[in-house]
Chain A
Amino acid sequence: MVKKNTVKKESNEEQRGRRDFIVVASYAMAGIGAAAVAWPLIDQMNPAADTLALASIEVDISKIEVGQAITVKWRGKPVFIKHRTEDEINSAQSVELSQLKDPQADVERVINPQFLVMVGVCTHLGCVPLGQKTGEIRGEYDGWFCPCHGSHYDSSGRIRKGPAPLNLEIPPYQFASNSLIKIG
């Protein structure tokens, strides 16, 4: 193990090339390895398997009277399900699209016009609008009203007045039967 102290010059270009290659390749491997390890550390922040398993729910809507609404929890957020009256359906359908801030026809927002299903989170800054329970303020358009910053939604959940930029979001859902909807 004991050798003399002399520093040899690289004898030729070829050897230097080989040397540089293997050195760079080694450090490159370290980089790849670090990136491969980084992914699990980041991905662990995504929803876990038990959270994802609850990502869809089934709701029985047969007991909602005309004019009544229920709120169910889906992915930690309130989902409004409203059994609309004929008047509400008519007024929602008769609005001119040109009057809307976020133009969308009522038929695009429902599967069955009697039941309006939407995420009850104001598109402004995330508060929950009022209007679900009888007696709550429903805003100037007889739909929902967000008390935080005064956004008014109509009976189709569309933004009509106030700072919110978009209509209330429609979650992905389908009718499993006439009385059962599956959200998510």
Chain B
Amino acid sequence: MSTNKFSNPVVRWIDHRLPIFSFMDHELNEYPTPKNLNYFWNFGSLAGISLVIMIVTGIVLAMSYTPHVDHAFQSVERIMRDVNHGWLIRYIHMNGASFFFIVVFIHIFRGLYYGSYKAPRELLWILGVLILLLMMATAFMGYVLPWGQMSFWGATVITNLFSAIPLVGDSIVTMLWGGFSVDNPTLNRFFALHYLMPFLIVGVVILHLVALHRFGSNNPIGIDPSGPQDTVPFHPYYTIKDFFGLSVFLSLFAAAIFFFPNFMGHPDNYIPANPMQTPAHIVPEWYFLPFYAILRAVPDKLGGVLAMFGAIAVLFILPWLDRSPIRSGNFRPIFRIFFWVFAADCVALGYLGGMPAEGIYVVLSRVATAWYFLHFLVILPLLSVIETPKPLPQSLSKSVLGGTAMVGAASAVKEKI
């Protein structure tokens, strides 16, 4: 890494002592990236930008928000009415949470389909699941802050999950609340933690990027680039592509903010919290619905909570459940079918989580929950043994010849692993 590549003497002086420019040049400019990435690879950078949008608008909102049960709701309305551009900033933050989850869910499903969790990217994947967990905690606590009816009852229900823990459950819940119900101490600490956790996410994101840059991006073919002919420098090729993706993303995001900002929220959250009265239908935010469905599917309190957390825990061990050496679902005909069944199962869980827990919905929730775990714990391990993959192309550049049986390549991949 020579410092001579910078013409500006100030940059050269700094870089010699603190090689930040070399680092940026290496990781953001020349960073070799497979040239066959499709648009699903846009969602990583979109997630990063979403995080930045949330942090910036969040800090700004915190300047006018009051974390006190008597003032929280009113201070949010003051932001909406009196603070300069407050309505805009709050709607960005509010819808930003939903869009962040949309982006991250697509990012995760991309990883699931193209086998991005496989060796040598297991830690990259695990860090990603950790980010998801942190995001869920952050989003949950953020939803409590406006102190509307859904805030209050959501907080009550979710914190009560911990009471399922044997022996110490009730004590833990009392500690979480800082009292005997969700009240001012709860709101205060949720605000403190909601402010803190995004920065923890930033930390894990940095680790996620370090792990990513160790081996570079996976790609739709799923084989490693065999040389410079298979890659392009990140800049300008992927900067411009990410920028295009960002423009499209922002257009959809702006449409939601300006034309249906409350579509993904719940009207009950415009009613101030009332600890004496639960709303008729309480549901979590949409991004929690699949997990909520799993929680309710199990007819046992502790069992439900374990299943819900298990649904995420299973993602942590995914790299060791799916032992197939072939990464991309494009070359795994049976996996591919099950992938889409699984995707449909997740959609079904999301739908069922929003339905009342009665009648046919309970039965369907149980089937869908069972399938969720079956997919990870039985189908994926089994497929890695019995499935015959399609022949892999020899290299990214020669994938045009993919049809003409490159059996050697498949075994080559195996050897590498």
Direct contact of A and B (CB under 8 A): yes
Pick from A4, A26, A45, A49: contact of B63, CB under 8 Å: A45
Q: Contact flags (1/0) for B73-93 with A, using CB distance below 8 Å?
A: 000001001111110110000
Q: Which residues of B contact A41 (CB under 8 A)?
A: 56-57, 60, 85, 89
Q: Which residues of B contact A26 (CB under 8 A)?
A: 240, 243
- A30-B243, A40-B89, A41-B56 are known contacts. Are A48 and B400 too (CB-CB below 8 A)? no
Q: Contact flags (1/0) for A23-57 with B, using CB distance below 8 Å?
A: 10011001000000000110111101111000000
Q: How many A-B residue pairs have CB under 8 A?
A: 49
Chain B residue with minimal CB distance to A52?
B82
Q: B399 near A: Cβ within 8 Å?
A: yes
Q: A15 near B: Cβ within 8 Å?
A: no
A44 adjacent to B63 (CB under 8 Å): yes
Q: B29 near A: Cβ within 8 Å?
A: no
Q: B184 near A: Cβ within 8 Å?
A: no
Q: Contact flags (1/0) for B397-409 with A, using CB distance below 8 Å?
A: 1011010000000
Chain A residue with minimal CB distance to B57?
A41
Q: Which residues of B contact A3 (CB under 8 A)?
A: 400
Cα A27 to Cα B63 with chains together (Å): 31
Q: Contact flags (1/0) for B230-267 with A, using CB distance below 8 Å?
A: 10000010001001000000000000000000000000
Smallest CB separation, A92 vs chain B (Å):
41
B: interface residue count bin: 20 to 34
Q: A99 near B: Cβ within 8 Å?
A: no
Cα A51 to Cα B64 with chains together (Å): 12
Pick from A2, A23, A27, A46: contact of B84, CB under 8 Å: A46
Q: B411 near A: Cβ within 8 Å?
A: no
Q: Which residues of A contact B400 (CB under 8 A)?
A: 2-4
A40 adjacent to B82 (CB under 8 Å): no
Cα A76 to Cα B78 with chains together (Å): 19
Smallest CB separation, A47 vs chain B (Å):
8
Smallest CB separation, B393 vs chain A (Å):
9
Smallest CB separation, B52 vs chain A (Å):
11
Q: B388 near A: Cβ within 8 Å?
A: no
- A2-B399, A23-B236, A48-B78 are known contacts. Are A43 and B229 too (CB-CB below 8 A)? no
Pick from B83, B230, B243: contact of A44, CB under 8 Å: B83
Q: Which residues of B contact A98 (CB under 8 A)?
A: none
Q: A62 near B: Cβ within 8 Å?
A: no
Q: A5 near B: Cβ within 8 Å?
A: yes
A48 adjacent to B86 (CB under 8 Å): yes
A44 adjacent to B240 (CB under 8 Å): no
Cα A100 to Cα B245 with chains together (Å): 67
Q: Which residues of A contact B89 (CB under 8 A)?
A: 40-41, 44
Chain B residue with minimal CB distance to A40?
B85
Q: Which residues of A contact B78 (CB under 8 A)?
A: 48, 50
Interface of A is mostly: helix
Chain A residue with minimal CB distance to B38?
A1
Cα A179 to Cα B85 with chains together (Å): 39
Pick from A2, A40, A48: contact of B64, CB under 8 Å: A48
Q: Contact flags (1/0) for B28-72 with A, using CB distance below 8 Å?
A: 000000000000000000000000000011001001100000000
B84 adjacent to A48 (CB under 8 Å): yes
Smallest CB separation, B29 vs chain A (Å):
15
B81 adjacent to A49 (CB under 8 Å): yes
Chain A residue with minimal CB distance to B86?
A44
Q: Which residues of A contact B230 (CB under 8 A)?
A: 5
Cα A51 to Cα B240 with chains together (Å): 44
A23 adjacent to B240 (CB under 8 Å): yes
Smallest CB separation, B45 vs chain A (Å):
13
Q: Contact flags (1/0) for B314-326 with A, using CB distance below 8 Å?
A: 0000000000000
A5 adjacent to B56 (CB under 8 Å): no
Q: Which residues of A contact B63 (CB under 8 A)?
A: 44-45
B85 adjacent to A43 (CB under 8 Å): yes
Q: Which residues of B contact A44 (CB under 8 A)?
A: 60, 63-64, 83-86, 89
Cα A30 to Cα B81 with chains together (Å): 29
Q: Which residues of A contact B86 (CB under 8 A)?
A: 44, 48
Q: Which residues of B contact A50 (CB under 8 A)?
A: 78, 82
Chain B residue with minimal CB distance to A5?
B397
Top 4 A-B pairs, shortest CB-CB distance: A40-B85, A5-B397, A48-B82, A49-B82
Given contacts A41-B56, A44-B64, A46-B84, 15 further A-B contacts (CB under 8 A): A2-B399, A4-B397, A26-B240, A26-B243, A27-B243, A30-B243, A40-B84, A41-B60, A41-B89, A43-B84, A48-B64, A48-B86, A49-B81, A49-B82, A49-B83
User: Which A residues have a C-beta under 8 Å from some C-beta of B?
Assistant: 2-5, 23, 26-27, 30, 40-41, 43-46, 48-51
Chain A to chain B contacts (Cβ below 8 Å), 23 pairs? A2-B399, A2-B400, A2-B402, A3-B400, A4-B397, A5-B229, A23-B236, A40-B84, A40-B85, A41-B56, A41-B60, A43-B85, A44-B89, A46-B84, A48-B64, A48-B78, A48-B84, A49-B81, A49-B82, A49-B84, A50-B78, A50-B82, A51-B82
